[in-house]
Amino acid sequence: MTKTLIRGRLLTFKRAPMSLTDTESYTYEHDGGLLVDEGKIAAIGNYTQVKATAPADVEEIDHRPHLVLPGLIDTHLHFPQMQVIASYAGSLLEWLNTYTFHEECRFVESDHAARIATRFYDEMIRHGTTTAAAYCSVHKTSADAYFAEAVKRGMCMVGGKVMMDRNAPQGLLDTPQTSYDETRAVIGEWHGKGRNYVAITPRFAITSTPEQMQAAQALAQEFPDLHIQTHLSENLDEIRYTCELYPQAKDYTDIYARYGLLGAKTLLGHAIHLSDREADVLSETGSVAVHCPTSNLFIGSGLFPLNAIRRRNKPVRVAVATDIGGGSSYSMLRTLDEAYKIQQILGERLNPLDSFHLMTRGNAEALSLIDRIGTLEVGTDADLVVLDAGATPAMALRMEAVTTLPEELFLLQTMGDDRAVAETYVAGKAMKRGVGS
């Protein structure tokens, strides 16, 4: 692979911004150069200075006047749910039982799984998402399709075969033993292959018996460096039913704690309705509460207290995600727009610097992958997104009055979608022009 010099306005975060005027939290180059070598960032800085260090025959790509950022990261979504987006239902459990579980049964068929995997990755690229943490279905075929497509495209992806042995259609159930065996097989075949990371994935406590939770615990003990992903406290009816199924537990969070499933690589989807005790446990274990705003609004689950949970005496680590297909958009820009609105309703603020930190560096830190993705630092993987704040006529008109970087970011967050993604790079390779229609 030849070296590539990417020119544009570069933005990368060094830490979480403390305010809208916290210019020390990020690096911004108005005329920047990013040298990419063998899929990694080799140099970053002022274009003229980086150009001077590059080989004379370096390939140059000029993205001016667009912004070049680290690729966007989605920390919770369901790859088998592409064909249940926009399904009408009144609540989480109704939505799962009426649409979702029946759709996921189809992923026993390898051809169907492969087709949907192809379309899934097309949408990731189209929307500027270069890394995601996804749930497959209960079938190993779905995990095989998901990870095979990731290898084909060279993408850094987290995913797992779902474990569920009760409270679902027969075609969507495994057993404690088969869930252990098949997850272990997925780990052996796919973890570390290409840029893949396998996650231990009990769907949620409602669909796992205590025996299956023990199987998940055994996997976590055997593979302590793996991610763990599941759902927590999304819906009040869900919480009540879960606690009925596990009456010995103090609360919903305690179920996962009892089986050793909490820790720095544990991703807990939603986590909206937490008690103080539960939030303290998440803080003490370093577990991540994953905010899924479009899903929470669409299904009517509740309003996640993003700012409040981060400023507690014992703050909780947080991430943001689309939660396809409960979520209604693949776009992380649309997702943070909804997150902003939720904070407005709660009487809080979410400034655009905070939003863009969350969907890049913040989510990389939540995935414990900051050494590889989420920044434009030298030595990291060259996963990039190029954003055009004038992508539509309405956006271009608004841009005529924009005078600051935060104003531009807020415009992208408020009005942007896949049309604002001018290009997506995976390990230094431009990918968006090649995706299917």
Percent of the chain with pLDDT over 70: 98
Calpha distance 207→168 (Å, rounded): 7
The pLDDT value given to residue 94: 78
The pLDDT value given to residue 22: 95
Residues 169 and 207: beta-carbon distance below 8 Å: no
The pLDDT value given to residue 98: 79
The pLDDT value given to residue 436: 58
Please count the residues of the chain: 437
Calpha distance 364→75 (Å, rounded): 9
Neighbours of 85 (CB within 10 A): 16
Phi and psi of 105, rounded to 5°? -60, -25
Which helix or strand (DSSP H or E) is residue 187 part of? helix 176-190
CA dihedral 38, 39, 42, 47 (to 10 degrees): 110
Neighbours of 65 (CB within 10 A): 13
Please, what is the Cα angle at 271 between 268 and 275, to 5 degrees? 125
Helix 210-222 and helix 176-190: axis angle, to 10°? 30
Both structure tokens of 45: 């800085």
Tell me the HSE value of 385 on the side-chain side, using a 13 A CA sphere: 32
Residues 116 and 259: beta-carbon distance below 8 Å: no
Calpha distance 429→227 (Å, rounded): 27
| Residue from 388, 436, 432 nearest 63 by CA | 388
The pLDDT value given to residue 363: 98
| Residues with pLDDT less than 70, the chain | 1, 90-93, 434-437
Residue with tokens 């879960």: 242
Residues 3 and 40: beta-carbon distance below 8 Å: no
Calpha distance 7→126 (Å, rounded): 21
